[in-house]
Amino acid sequence: MEQQIDFPLPADLPEPKDDGSAKHLVGLRMPKILLRSTAGEIVDVSDLRAVRSVIYCYPMTGVPFKPLPDGWDQIPGARGCTPQTCGFRDRYKELQAEHAEVFGLSTQSTDYQREMTERLHVPFAVLSDEAFELCDALQLPTFEASGVRLLKRLTLIVKAGRIEHVFYPVFPPNESADQVLRWLKSQIA
């Protein structure tokens, strides 16, 4: 296991409830949408080459010493992007051993995301859906905070160009990578 940096979550975070806004996703074909990545590449999400691709979607990453939107901790499912990313970072080699490619995805710009990937030593690409192309094409669930539209936290498992499984809602976010890893190990490739 790689380095672990502790980013504890407040004990009283409200748990998100399944509002049904991700039920339509399983079985959908990934649309031909090109997204910029923190690795400096353009990724066609309809042409992912791994046996399975894990795309964990999150609202936004904070920046050290910059406050989060007002009431962030009271929005069910909002808090925890950094612990979730660190979980995928720390389980990255184990996920690769299950023939899975990992991507993070948010609607923040690639430059904004790059600061986080460098600071946290993230070994995989994070994709920017800044224009909400993928979000709107798949009708991914969103919410608003401080007047900004953001993705709700969910994880897509893509196999052969189709969404095979969806984790939604994701809670607690710091256990997301472990949940995905357990699910991958339970599947026959």
Average pLDDT, integer, range 152-170: 98
* Number of domains forming the structure of the chain: 1
Q: At 125, which CATH number?
A: 3.40.30.10
Classify residue 27: in a domain, yes or no: no
Spatial distance between the Cα atoms of 75 and 170, rounded to a whole number of angstroms: 13
Instruction: State the pLDDT at residue 2.
Output: 43
Spatial distance between the Cα atoms of 64 and 149, rounded to a whole number of angstroms: 21
pTM of structure: 0.93
Q: Measured at the alpha carbon of residue 60, what is the angle toward residues 137 and 8, in degrees to the nearest 5?
A: 135
Exposure class string for 62-96: b at 16+ Cβ within 10 A, else e: eeeeeebbeeeeebbbbbbbbbbbbbbbbbbeebe
Classify residue 4: in a domain, yes or no: no
Instruction: State the pLDDT at residue 11.
Output: 79
Classify residue 1: in a domain, yes or no: no
Classify residue 22: in a domain, yes or no: no
User: Is 147 in contact with 156 (CB distance < 8 Å)?
Assistant: no
Classify residue 20: in a domain, yes or no: no
What is the residue range of 113's domain? 34-186
